[in-house]
Chains A and B, each alone.
Chain A
Amino acid sequence: MSKIRKLTFLLLCCTLLISLTGCGNCSEEKQWGASCSITVDGLPAELESLPQTLRENLYFSLSLSGTSNDKHYSVQLTERNGFTAQLYMLPGSYSVSHVYVRTDGNLPIQATAQAESIVLTKDTDTPLTISISNGQELISYIQQSAPTEEILTSENFSRKIQYAGTVMDLNALGQQMHFSTTETSPLRPGKVGTLVSDSDKSVHMLVKNTTDTSIPIQQATCIGFSFSGCNAILPQGISVGSTVESIAHAETGILKTPNYCHGSPLIGMDIDSAELVYIDPESGDRITCHMNPADDFISWFSYEFEQYQ
């Protein structure tokens, strides 16, 4: 063997030895024994009655930035980790960031960290609690999101909806809620626009310009409503968070196989959103269930009338 090869072999052996022995304790944080236990406090037991998909997609995020060092730690609390986490950090003082809550189904959750800053000392576990500041509001919202017997036994295309615990007629929803928009540009002929409910941002009115000229969006004809909150429930229990299988399975689904679909057939693969469209053969009314690119459950649904009465 040439000298270069011998030298390379020697170098390789040394590298192997160093990598085997030199990197034994890579975690510099753990050796100090300073940790922070973060928990979410005050999550109501009623949360269990929500669809599993909504519970799985509930995240509390928090970050801790060192004021005595340049370290930055972040943590995500979910149902999977039981809404608790233990972070090993370098001893020192840290400022606690604003708690970010990510929910599907428009769940009204407000959470705050109980301390603005924490000090971690060696071999000590420091607790940090995230508390739900609107527990009662959340409980009442969840209770109103439970389907009633009346809605569960209604016909799919009966134009009924359970909203905030009350079963109502979709025809009358336009009068019962006030809708407005900040859109100032006129709606072109044949185009569809949306107006947002003043009392609940998750309820939208779908309007269409049925005239031949551009008109202000407020003067367009109501053609239906869309809902992105889990407090709105269609007949037989279809709501935000319902799985595709529970709705679209040919045998066991509530609405069975869709008439047609929009978007990508790769549902939940984070490529494109998908929509399942059902048309009532008698009235011509249309139910559209929308799924976000990464989800395989309904993120919003709409009910469009063939003829608005």
Chain B
Amino acid sequence: MKEIGLVLKVNLLSLLALPLFLLSLIFKLAQKALEKTLVFIAVIVVILALMLLNSIFNNPNGFLDGIGFVFALLVIGGAIIGLLFMVLAFFGTIAASVLTVIVSVAMSILSFGFECCHSGYLYLYDICQDDIDDLQSSDKPKIRFACIFWYFVYGLHQACVFLFSMMFPLSLIASLVFVGYSLFSVHHAIQGTFGIGIFSYLKLFPTTNVVFTVLYFVLIVIAVVVVLISLGSEWSEWGQTLKSVALGTDGNWEEFLHQAAPADDVNIAFSAGQSQQHCQQFMEILNGLFDNCELIYEQVVTASQQEEDSNLQYSFSEYLDTLKQIRKKLSSVSGVMSCNTFEKNIIPLIQVAQRQEKELQKDVLHILQKHNNAAKKGNSELDFFSGCTTLEGLQSRYRALCKIYHPDVGGHTETFQMLQAQYEQRRNEMESDTKTKQQFDGYA
């Protein structure tokens, strides 16, 4: 009965999650469309300004005549013209302010709508996923297939994740295609009409007009490329968030960390054979990975405090997921495991986790170095221990950062010295605070 109740619950919640997901998609689309429209409006304004500049370049006398005419008008009209300009400026300012307010309000509404729908969807998705896990571990695991709406939402979610994660490379390809097609179509149009190449055609016109025409073209192409790439990057960022949801971490790493890494070393006996030593070696590597897990977590937290990098967060979620899978497979084995099974099922995952760990450390180092260099330029230092409030936290962070900055592991000596100095200073401060507190408690 309990299983049937869960199936009904999952189906009902999935049905509710679906419109929320679709609505969040609509809000996101509208938000992006508005943002990008503003970019194109700005491009149009710049092109209009360039066109005006072009006409001034083409007919400077006419422009000067125009200036002279305006000057004459000012002299004749005097205060009336001045007043007119003031009124125009006044209404122009009001119009600009009203437009800014309208755009800001529209953006806020869309952003709020997206946040509501998206967080609602994630909330329901999490519940459904937990319930599906419960059903899977129940006495009748096959009953979970009765959650048809859940599998529909899950499929849609995965399809969107796949599509969004492809957005960045797709946007790069689209940009290249757009630039190539633009050049080709211009060449094709000129070839079709004049029967000559682009350069021969442009040579026929005055240099000023050619320069401005090339500027218009470059400006439009750059605007489209920037819009395409930024859209690709933003959608793929959202894809990463959805991917994390699918992995089940969704930024809640601490809980996931405990699920992924066991508190003590895992000891599994292998059946005797030629590969026993090989398996034992990988078992040691695995225990090393489990030991390092918390250090990696500290490193990722340090980097995330400097910069919210969705790629890094997703990579860490993926890394935890790999460890979780290994742990799950090991926990299903009791006592002795055959080397063949270990080699077939566990070793490939250990190799993946090893690679992911290396990649993560590289990414963390890259982010920290970037911010350290930026801090140096501003004559300051990167705070490696921001957010550490306890002595344990401080020590844990120090150990984690030593893993990437220590000269023995190929770290940078100068940065390591800076890290050490910061650690010593912060530890002394914390220890003296603790002593003062103890003394105060004693007096009290």
Task: Say yes or no: A265 contacts B201, CB within 8 Å.
Answer: yes
Give chain B residues whose Cβ lies under 8 Å from the Cβ of A272. 51, 54-55, 209
B193 lies within 8 A of chain A by Cβ: yes
Q: In the bound complex, what is the Cα–Cα distance between A248 and B205 (angstroms)?
A: 14
Binds A, one of B115-123, B335-343, B349-357: B115-123
Task: Say yes or no: A265 contacts B196, CB within 8 Å.
Answer: no
16 additional contacts (CB under 8 A) given A9-B20, A249-B193, A253-B194: A1-B123, A5-B120, A8-B113, A9-B120, A245-B192, A245-B194, A248-B194, A257-B196, A260-B204, A262-B205, A262-B206, A265-B202, A265-B205, A265-B210, A271-B216, A272-B51
With CB as the reference atom, state the residue of chain B lying closest to A246: B193
Q: In the bound complex, what is the Cα–Cα distance between A267 and B204 (angstroms)?
A: 13
With CB as the reference atom, state the residue of chain A lying closest to B112: A8
For chain A, which range describes its interface: under 10, 10 to 19, 20 to 34, or 35 or more residues? 20 to 34
| Set A1, A248, A260: member contacting B119, Cβ < 8 A | A1
Residues of A within 8 A of B (CB): 1, 5, 8-9, 12-13, 16, 244-245, 248-253, 257-258, 260-267, 271-272, 296
Give chain B residues whose Cβ lies under 8 Å from the Cβ of A245. 192-194
The verdict on A252 contacting B123 (CB below 8 Å), with A12-B113, A258-B204, A261-B205 known, is: no
Residue of B19, B192, B201, B205 most packed against chain A (CB within 10 A)? B205
Task: Say yes or no: B117 contacts A9, CB within 8 Å.
Answer: yes
With CB as the reference atom, state the residue of chain A lying closest to B196: A250
| Set A12, A248, A266: member contacting B193, Cβ < 8 A | A248
In the complex, number of A-B residue pairs with CB atoms less than 8 Å apart: 73
Give chain A residues whose Cβ lies under 8 Å from the Cβ of B55. 272
Bitwise interface map of B from 55 to 94 toward A, beta carbon under 8 Å scored 1, else 0: 1000000000000000000000000000000000000000
The verdict on A251 contacting B195 (CB below 8 Å), with A5-B116, A265-B210 known, is: yes
B23 lies within 8 A of chain A by Cβ: yes
B213 lies within 8 A of chain A by Cβ: yes
Residues of B within 8 A of A (CB): 19-20, 23, 51, 54-55, 112-113, 116-117, 119-120, 123, 192-196, 200-202, 204-206, 209-210, 212-213, 216
Task: Say yes or no: B117 contacts A12, CB within 8 Å.
Answer: yes
Task: Say yes or no: A257 contacts B51, CB within 8 Å.
Answer: no
Q: In the bound complex, what is the Cα–Cα distance between A238 and B405 (angstroms)?
A: 79
With CB as the reference atom, state the residue of chain B lying closest to A256: B195
With CB as the reference atom, state the residue of chain A lying closest to B209: A264
Give chain B residues whose Cβ lies under 8 Å from the Cβ of A253. 194-195
Give chain A residues whose Cβ lies under 8 Å from the Cβ of B204. 257-258, 260-261, 265
Task: Say yes or no: B116 contacts A265, CB within 8 Å.
Answer: no
The verdict on A252 contacting B112 (CB below 8 Å), with A13-B19, A258-B204, A260-B204 known, is: no
With CB as the reference atom, state the residue of chain B lying closest to A262: B206
Give chain A residues whose Cβ lies under 8 Å from the Cβ of B216. 266, 271
Give chain B residues whose Cβ lies under 8 Å from the Cβ of A258. 204
Q: In the bound complex, what is the Cα–Cα distance between A271 and B213 (angstroms)?
A: 10
Give chain B residues whose Cβ lies under 8 Å from the Cβ of A5. 116, 119-120
| Set B193, B196, B202: member contacting A244, Cβ < 8 A | B193
The verdict on A265 contacting B120 (CB below 8 Å), with A8-B112, A245-B193, A249-B195 known, is: no
Q: In the bound complex, what is the Cα–Cα distance between A13 and B201 (angstroms)?
A: 57
Q: In the bound complex, what is the Cα–Cα distance between A248 and B216 (angstroms)?
A: 24
Residue of A8, A264, A272 most packed against chain B (CB within 10 A)? A264
Task: Say yes or no: B116 contacts A266, CB within 8 Å.
Answer: no
With CB as the reference atom, state the residue of chain B lying closest to A271: B51
From residue B170, how far is it (CB to closest CB) to chain A in Å? Answer: 29
From residue B122, how far is it (CB to closest CB) to chain A in Å? Answer: 10
The verdict on A8 contacting B195 (CB below 8 Å), with A263-B209, A266-B213 known, is: no
Give chain B residues whose Cβ lies under 8 Å from the Cβ of A13. 19
| Set A8, A244, A248, A265: member contacting B209, Cβ < 8 A | A265
Task: Say yes or no: B213 contacts A250, CB within 8 Å.
Answer: no
Give chain B residues whose Cβ lies under 8 Å from the Cβ of A250. 194-196
Give chain A residues whose Cβ lies under 8 Å from the Cβ of B213. 264-266
CB-CB nearest 4 A-B residue pairs: A250-B195, A249-B195, A261-B204, A8-B116
Give chain A residues whose Cβ lies under 8 Å from the Cβ of B202. 265
From residue B126, how far is it (CB to closest CB) to chain A in Å? Answer: 12
Give chain A residues whose Cβ lies under 8 Å from the Cβ of B20. 9
